Structure 1
């Protein structure tokens, strides 16, 4: 209770101090960027000097977490709500099993779920969304009017089938950025990747090279031929137009999501000839896989170049001191590699859910690394706090992390983080609790437990569930209490109870 009271007092002070000159916010969300894909988290193969400079001058969140796939992560970020509240458990087309194994996932986020962009708009923020949206399904009317839980998973059209586009531009705008408080949407569709061309992933450009086939990119053959460059240019144009502020830039790059494409042959050659890192495995591949790795590295370097462009614009226009920059990824690595952690995108081990993250705000944030765990759910309340918005919703599942900007509040350091995956993808359905360096996984269909000491065993190689039964029992009790208190739904084949 004392910790909660202290947090409320801190929030009130934050609102008082910042409300008189609301800061600009630039939120950079990268797609599928792994925890170890950046220099500030130890990569020696991938090159991210601009990102590293920002990170090292800000607060690096060593234990930043998302869901293991993009749909639930992006929904949780946008709404501040756990997956069981929105019904978005994974990317619907990736689900496995039947309706007894999985509670098939929703795709479209209904209007009843407010997104952070809406109170920001009401408070006077001029906002733009650029890049990946993925918060609406291809057939929202059929989806929302259907029976739930579904008997079959949702589907999507071929990438080059644009039969959905006209309705999305007219009838379904309410599910798009413009219906959620943004003034513009550049490139956001129902799809989770940019490969909207004949052949999809196997197409020549993969969606990363113009002419872009995205119905929500107004210029089919713009001056910027590379998608990451184009989205950055549009972000800069918007900031320039609204530099009197406050503005909110929702810059959600498609990169580094598959399909992997090289930024230039020159850059590909650079990484082909660069020594790899034996510890992480980055750059150690041979043959075709080595070229794939080199091309992936050029996408990361391009990302870094464009983050540098954003910072340069802010500095040149005297906006840097009053702009919070938030940088993170929506799930663990997919196209890259990191042998320092177990798992990758789609898995509930650290490689799938732990992501690179930092916040940077000159003069407002103490530069350092923090071990305090932070969830993507925390971004909504943090944005409200920073913007000085008094926003109340009892169903927000995260906490503002502004207290971490210059301190290590106990209420954040000691709180548990929870996940509930009621739909099967790469792992069976499960619930997870992480608290005080310990992580417990309970598989719903069997009741089996996995317990890891993340500080001593970051690669999650030693299941301690039988060796430390007292800790496992304590965490399981807390996990079950959380499920019961929140009426968390379980798949039909679950043998565990709430």
Structure 2
């Protein structure tokens, strides 16, 4: 059984009181109770790594069925790496507000070239789980957290901007655990943010918390798990299965609702491990997909691709388990399933888009995304662009919460029935003030156009994504008026929001 904090004793009374004041807001069709939410965030899953976005190599039948019956977003965006994506999801705020620009240990260069990233999201930034808890939602966080650094005391006491980037201990160094489990650190963990329980969430961005890290035998995916925030169980075998077990158990405990399952799988993040030898052989012997390039490598890369494929199939099996539980317990009709990824694909094959994780190009920021809610969503694909920032206000809308804090996204519930002109025509913005795979930059995407301004040089790149999804043709010379118009809007956005620039920036603010 799941053990919860003492406050769960008042669960029934608290739920009934809150239920009286929580109703879904327009345009969502009214329901007897606020909807349950299963929010599935996969780690490093690329846009084309699922069948519903064209993969012929990876097998995702359960995910594809849910996508077909739901609303698929052709242009769903995150940041290029997990830390800023997860901070934006949790807080609904742009990276310049939280100071989380990338994974700190990945940053390249000096403090002249970077505003070095924070790791820990401060208490001043409300997370969506907090107003949801106040409104009666029973929530659990399962899997990757990555919203606190290994040394939050020193980090939060430091003067900003930092003189050097933040570091982390080796995977087998557990000296940080005592403080992270203390009451003083609770405010940076799920239990201090409105969740009833945290299962497996730590400062780490991957599960390899053991001697050898990525080179260890298990990679953190096979039991026994070395995660200090995941209690060992006798029947543990595979991490993705165990995390799904926790989600199902929580839904069973709180089936009267409303519940919110923050199911943030570690899979398919490195280190890659084959789920089983039989599955590995299956994908080693399966013909590759020449359109995406998936499964067409040779040698070591072919093995890695096959291992990755087994992890995706395992993910799909577990999504099927979640759907089956909801159906068997008469929970399906009033439960949204949201499926997305935290950034683009990481080092695997994708010939459909340019670049990969860490890059501001489509391969680094465009992610597979759908929302499934039977009877409440008009099943289809939409080209209306959305961003991870939009989920916080969407959750508030669904729960009927009048939230008055700063939010940089918009609720996407108007898209549940039909495309919405306001959402379709709004600009989306990114600001990367620290460098990883390329220099610092600001970005605007509006209509079908995407403009990138590199901050240290002022160089502009303009792409028409409707005609050039692989971003092969820079249009700044042939469409200067479009570039100037978008640049003016980008500069205006930076100025209006006091967006900080790195010391070596040569651009306007």
Instruction: Mark yes or no: TM-score above 0.5.
Output: yes
Take 1:14 and 1:215, find their aligned partners in 2: how far apart are those partners?
A: 43
Equivalenced residues, count: 486
Contact 2:116 2:434 in 1 (8 A): yes
Supply the distance in 1 between the matched residues of 2:378 and 2:99 (Cα, whole angstroms).
Answer: 37
Question: CA–CA distance in 1 between the matches of 2:211 and 2:122?
Answer: 31
Equivalences for residues 42-121 of structure 1 within 5 A: 42-121=54-133
Any residues of structure 2 matched to 1:93-172 within 5 Å, and which?
93-170=105-182, 171-172=184-185
Structure 2 residue 416 is the aligned partner of structure 1 residue 402: no
TM-score by length of 2: 0.94
Report 1:14-53 matches (<5 A). 14=26, 17-18=29-30, 20-53=32-65
Q: Deviations over 1:439-479 (max 9, x none)?
A: 00000000000000001000000001111100000000000
Distance 2:137 2:325 in 1: 19
Partner residue in 2 for 1:436: 447
Q: d(CA) in 2 for partners of 1:124 and 1:377? A: 23
- Which residue is 1:448 aligned to? 459
Can you list the C-alpha shifts for 1:38-84, whole angstroms capped at 9, x where unaligned? 00000000000000000000000000000000000000000000000
1:106-150 Cα offsets, whole Å, 9 max, x none, are 000000000000000000000000000000000001000001000
| Structure 2 residue matching 1:28: 3-state secondary structure | strand
**1:338-371 deviation line (CA, Å, top 9, x unaligned):** 0111010000000000000000000000000000
Contact 1:68–1:331 under 8 Å retained in 2: yes
- 8 Å Cα contact 2:347-2:356 kept in structure 1: no
Normalized against structure 1, the TM-score is what?
0.96
**3-state DSSP class of the match of 2:295?**
coil
Q: d(CA) in 2 for partners of 1:324 and 1:271?
A: 32
Partner SS state of residue 172, structure 1: helix
- C-alpha root-mean-square deviation of aligned residues, in Å? 1.1
> Is there any run of 5+ residues in structure 2 with no aligned partner, and where?
1-22
Is the Cα–Cα contact under 8 Å of residues 28 and 414 in structure 2 kept in the other structure? no
Q: Does 1:322 align with 2:334?
A: yes
Q: Is the 1:125–1:247 Cα contact (8 Å) retained in structure 2?
A: yes
1: CA distance between counterparts of 2:394 and 2:427?
18
Q: Is the Cα contact below 8 Å between 2:275 and 2:311 reproduced in 1?
A: yes
1:186 corresponding residue in structure 2: 199
Q: Is 1:387 the counterpart of 2:399 in the alignment?
A: yes
How far the C-alpha of 1:20 sits from its partner, in A, is 4.5
Q: Secondary structure at the match of 1:204?
A: coil
Deviation of the 1:337 alpha carbon: 1.6
- 1:274 paired to 2:262: no
User: Once the 2 structures are TM-superposed, how far is the Cα of residue 14 of structure 1 from its aligned partner?
Assistant: 2.3
Please list, as runs of the form range in 1=range in 2, the aligned pairs for 1:294-443 lying within 5 A after superposition.
294-393=306-405, 395-443=406-454
Ranges of 4+ aligned residues in structure 1 off by more than 6 Å: none
Q: CA shift at 1:392, angstroms?
A: 1.4
SS in 1 for 2:315: helix
Does the Cα contact within 8 Å between 1:18 and 1:388 map onto a contact in 2? no
Matched, 1:234 2:246: yes
The range that moved more, 221-230 or 65-74, is: 221-230
State the 1:151 CA deviation.
0.4
Give 5+ residue unaligned stretches, structure 1: 1-10
How far did 1:12 drift?
Answer: 8.0
Counterpart contact for 1:15–1:386, Cα < 8 Å: no
1:32–1:332 contact (8 Å) kept in structure 2: yes
Q: Distance in 1 between matches of 2:472 and 2:301?
A: 26
Per-residue CA deviations over 1:271-318 (Å, capped at 9, x if unaligned) read: 001000111110001111111110100000000000000000000000
Matched, 1:457 2:468: yes
